[in-house]
Amino acid sequence: MPESYVPKEAIGHGDGGTAALAIGEAESLERRPSAAPPSAGPPGAPVGKPRSLWSDAWHDLRRNPVFVLSALVIVFLVVIAIWPQLIATGNPYRADLAKAQQGSQPGHPFGFDTQGRDVYTRVVYGARASITVGVCATTGAALLGSLLGGLAGFFGGWGDTLLSRLADIFFGIPVILGGLVFLSVVTSTTVWPVVGFIVLLGWPQVSRIARGSVVTAKQNDYVQAARALGAGNGRLLLRHIAPNAVAPVIVVATIALGTYIALEATLSYLGAGLKPPTVSWGIDISTASTYIRSAPHMLLWPAGALSITVLAFIMLGDAVRDALDPKLR
């Protein structure tokens, strides 16, 4: 950062021997209209390159092994969630009771579950439900939360008070109990009720963060300045406040994604989340837990997949937070 405070001109004119450049001298160089032609920075020189928060963050992230590793895992997970056939040729529903609970064997590296279905195929197909729920719930919660929180923070007043209390109410609902109550009355076997429930409970967390960072960004002089130069509310919010307030929201959302996936599995394990025939790690863990002594492989593989997925998203969130908020390091 400090090197960016050196005026370009000063660097272009440092004539070798006398390295020290008085501040006043640098300023007087600026004053001369012909001084400091663009030759000051050769193309590609680091000084002249515009560096915003985002390009700085990207610069940091690419060099962070935690980020690279977790991003690779996530890309892999997303690919197999979309095209599971790429690495699993079998049918996740095909049951051969004769092979029930059998361990690893050629062609079936993870063995078979209680109903004789191939565990490997089911683990691969299970990624789809987890990723869908995680991504959709996070997107929904982030959009709803930052919209409501952002507007509340910007306009303040009674709407802000109302929203904050509403968020407190949703915050107070115990997640597991709420899930059992709400989702047990749902008969749909799609992922959408689960996504909806997580969005409903997840938005207050985002809205608190978004409200806080909008309130902070709103007090910046440049917002006041833009207002003094005639910018309306919409422009202030979208162009001046949002880009300066979005970083914390992104960080919370990335970390939340991992916990939402874990939450889906927990709810499915308890029988309130996803329902068969949807293939889900949570359901398979639930079924397998009865046989943990006799056939532990049925539990370990989906549980391992779940752990790796959640870990990857949380590590990604951590890396993004480090990059966007260097103060926390």
For residues 23 to 42, the per-residue mask of contacts with other proteins, x marking binding by CB under 8 A and - elsewhere, is xx-xxx-xxxxxxxxx-x--
Query: Of 266, 304, 261, 295, which is closest to residue 282 (Cα–Cα)?
Result: 266
Report d(CA 62, CA 319) in Å as an integer: 10
| Residue whose tokens read 């003094």 | 228
C-beta of 148: minimal distance to other proteins in Å? 21
Task: Please give the residues from 214 up to 273 whose contact with other proteins meets the rule CB under 8 A.
Answer: 220-222, 224-232, 235, 239-240, 243-244
How far lies 287's CA from each of 27, 190, 193, 244, 270, in Å? 74, 19, 22, 47, 10
The smaller minimum CB distance to other proteins, of residues 21 and 180, is found at 21
Q: What 3-state DSSP class applies to 279?
A: coil
The smaller minimum CB distance to other proteins, of residues 18 and 219, is found at 219
For residues 152 to 181, the per-residue mask of contacts with other proteins, x marking binding by CB under 8 A and - elsewhere, is ----xx------------------------
The reply to whether 89 sits near other proteins by the rule CB under 8 A is no
The reply to whether 13 sits near other proteins by the rule CB under 8 A is no
- Please, are residues 180 and 270 in contact by the beta-carbon 8 Å criterion? yes
For residues 52 to 81, the per-residue mask of contacts with other proteins, x marking binding by CB under 8 A and - elsewhere, is xxx---------------------------
Report d(CA 135, CA 157) in Å as an integer: 33
Report d(CA 305, CA 5) in Å as an integer: 48
- Please, are residues 282 and 274 in contact by the beta-carbon 8 Å criterion? yes
The count of chain residues that interact with other proteins, using the rule CB under 8 A, is 45
* Residues contributing to the site for other proteins (CB under 8 A): 4-5, 7-9, 23-24, 26-28, 30-38, 40, 48, 50-54, 156-157, 220-222, 224-232, 235, 239-240, 243-244
